[in-house]
Structure formats: structure tokens, C-alpha cells
Amino acid sequence: MFFFDINYLLMVLLPGLLISGGASLLVKSAFNKYSQVGSIKGYTGAQAAQILLDRAGIRDVQVVPTRGILSDHYNPASKQLALSESVYASRSVAAIGVACHEAGHAIQHANHYVPLHLRSALVPMAGIGSSIGYTVMFVGAMMQFTPVVMVGALLFAAVLLFQIVTLPVEFDATARAKRLVVEAGIVYPEERVGIDRVLNAAALTYVAAVIGTLLTLLYFLMRSGLLGRRN
């Protein structure tokens, strides 16, 4: 029966849980470790982000606190750089790294970084694919009706495309943060070790998301005979 398909367990569920769970644990471990390491110059996450914005000549982006754990983000529409409570007022190396990463997104926006604008354009389509794509594929597979699976796969592929485009956006913001945090004099070069580990771990979560979505899509395509031979 489809409900108890061992292939789904082995191909999608277990690998997805291991990869995403492992990436999440790495982020939490790195952040928790370096959130206990104070920066020598003593800048807060909010101050660090503001320094990079000022240095880039960006005057219309507001750095604001937001609720949640590691809920930090930059909103291009409102031009708000929101930092979580554990980052905004913290003087730790981890907080500075996260804050400068988000400032990197604001700099991307100001510099018209193409992948960032492409990702923003894909948000509506990815939202639709995320909300109904999986369900449509599942129903189509249950009915053994290939056209329905194809529709669901196309919708779900929009999610995969969004996640793939997100990779260069996040990697670039991370690279900017690593470079600028020292160039701007926010931390000393030797403090970058902690920042690198936190941001590298965070980057892996985006890679994990792509792998998880890809495995799910491939499973349904193979299950329905659209890819490879049907069992």
C-alpha cells in the first residue's frame, strides 16, 4: 500500500530527517557555543548591522528587534532588518555574525543583486507550490492518475526552484558578512573563527532544504512512472 511504502521511508523520510535534523543541530550547537563568547570590541548585533549599513551608505533600512529564536531576517518590502532577541542586544561573536549576515542581504538589495530579486519574484509561486503541491502529488499517486501527479510536481518544483535560487543569495550574504565584519573593524581577525562556524552551519540548512525537497519530488515522479520504471 502507498501509505506504508518502504521506498518513501528509505528514500525521503529517513534521509530528510537525518539531513535536516543534522543541519539544525549544527546551527544550534555553533550558535549556542559562540553566543557565550563575547566580542572583544563589545558591539551588539544591532550595532554591528548598523555599522555595515552606514558603511554601505544605506540610510533607509531600519534595524529592529523581533520575537523568536533565530528568527532574524531582512524584509526587502519594508526595508526592515529584524534581529531576534538573542542577537539584537547580544555582544557575542555569534550574534554579530548573524546580524552582519542579515546586513549582507540589505546590501544585496541596495546593490540590486540579481539572485535576491529573482528569489523575491518567485515567492508567490513558491508559496502556492508549498501549500498545495505536495497534496496534489500525493492524491494523484493514490489515485494512480499521472496527470494529477504532473500538476502537483510542477507546483512542487516551484518550491525547489525557490530553494535553489536561495542558495547563492545566502552564500553571498555569508561571504559578505565574513569579509566586512573584519574590514569594518567590528571584530578582530582572530574572532572570525566563531563567526565562520556559525554562518557555515546556517548555510547547511539551506542545502538540506534543497536535498529534502528534491528527494520528495523524485520519489513521486518515480512512484508514478514519470521518472524511471514504475514498480
The residues that are catalytic are 102
Radius of gyration of the chain measured on its C-alpha atoms? 20
Q: Give burial (CB, 10 Å; 0-12/13-18/19+) of 190.
A: exposed
Are 120 and 108 spatial neighbours (Cβ–Cβ below 8 Å)? no
List, in sequence order, the alpha helices (H) in 70-145. 85-88, 93-110, 114-128, 134-143
Rounded CA-CA distance 225/120 in Å is: 33
Rounded CA-CA distance 186/119 in Å is: 29
